[in-house]
Structure 1
Amino acid sequence: MSLAGCSSGLASLEPIPAAPVGPQQVETGDSIRIAIDDIDNTDGEYTVSGAGTISLPYIDELQVRGLTIPQVKERIEQAYRAAGIFNEPEVNVQPAQLRPYYVLGEVNRPGEFEYRQGMTVQAAIAAAGGYTYRAKSDEVEITRTIDGRDVVGTATNQTPITPGDRIRVLEKWF
């Protein structure tokens, strides 16, 4: 008896490209904590808009999508220097909250979860309550945004995830 029609669909997908090595880039939906000495009411969290910008006092919208935290700090300092507000601005930038990741399919509690640095598929599945008895647990499907476009691929339990990943656990065929 042939089971060719019972394929999970993962066989045609390539492994998901590796998560970028090095500092995490700021993307839409991330919150960053910014403190600027000598300007009142700037200490706080700023969420990156859909356009990839943040808005700070005395300067226009500032493009930060795709930059690392040190690059965001430098961009803010340059903007205040260019506006003639400071010669040597004192700026502190830290990540506050990264985009969540999502787990759906054959897990006990599908949904949206808070990303933590260094997470793997296994940790993400554990946060979602583990696999159901119907789950194909040796391989999952991940949709990851890379350079502004969605890429779909397969991953194992040890594959690192990134903020914003969408993990889909498929049903196994008995």
Structure 2
Amino acid sequence: MKKLLKSFCFITTLLVSSVIYADDAYTLNAGDQLSISVWNEDALQREVVILPDGTVSFPLAGQLKAQGQSVYDLENELKTKLSEFISDPVVNVTVNAVSGNTIHILGKVLRPGSFSMSQPLDAMQALSLAGGLNTFAEENNIIILRRNGEKQQILPVHYARIKKGQSLETNVMLKSGDVIIIP
């Protein structure tokens, strides 16, 4: 009975952690380094880098769009493509390095520059990575430039209000390629 209870607890923990993981699934970006393997197929073990156009190339599957997808989505797409050649393929994609997940912080911070995001970050966390605002920064004029395809979007960050617990909706989650400008 104890073994059954331990097994039940273990399986429940796995299920809960997979649901949590699915909500916070990492989005692949150009420059990310991946390992792709197909179980029982030694010829289909590859390390690849997502190209600047957002694609990866894999034998039998060809060019696949990887940028903007989760690891799970890419695994499923590979499985679909490979199933034309292999009966019920088991595909595993692992992120080795998140080289492409970068934001840029410009202006009146202590350490301006480009920063790799290894986990989801909001605007305030990113400003903290850059050492915070310097004394001459205009706290109410901070913006995020975000590219959506061919267009750019401007998102205001009301730093002074966020510090007071107001305008929290302007403390947006960052995406790869975002540029934060602090005048």
Per the normalisation by structure 2, the TM-score is 0.68
Q: Which has the higher contact order (CA 8 A, sep 6+)?
A: 1
Shift of 1:138: 4.0
Q: Which amino acid aligns with 2:175?
A: T
Residue type of the alignment partner of 1:48: I
Mean Cα deviation higher: 67-76 or 103-112: 67-76
Counterpart-to-counterpart distance in 2, 1:162 and 1:119: 8
What letter matches 2:172 in structure 1?
T
Give structure 1 stretches of 5+ with no counterpart: 1-20
Distance in 2 (CA, whole Å) between partners of 1:118 and 1:133 is 27
The CA distance in 1 between the partners of 2:110 and 2:135, in whole Å, is: 9
1:154 match: 156
**1:69 aligned to 71, 92, 106, which one?**
71
State the shift of 1:114 in Å.
1.3
Distance 1:43 1:140 in 2: 45
- Closer, same or farther: CA 79–118 of 1 in aligned 2, 3 Å: same
Aligned to 2:182: 169
Instruction: Name the aligned partner's letter for residue 169 of structure 1.
Output: I
Which aligned pairs between 1:1-174 and structure 2 lie closer than 5 A? 23-40=25-42, 43=45, 45-82=47-84, 84=85, 86-95=86-95, 96-97=97-98, 98-147=100-149, 149-157=151-159, 158-170=171-183
Structure 1 pair 63–162 and aligned structure 2 pair: CA distance change class (3 A): closer
Q: CA deviation at 1:132?
A: 1.2
What RMSD in Å do the two structures reach over aligned CA positions? 2.5
Structure 2: tracts of 5 or more residues without a match? 1-22, 160-170
Q: Post-superposition shift, 1:43? A: 4.9
Q: What percent of counterpart residues are identical?
A: 23
More helix by share: 2
Q: 2:27 touches 2:70 (CA, 8 Å); kept in 1?
A: yes
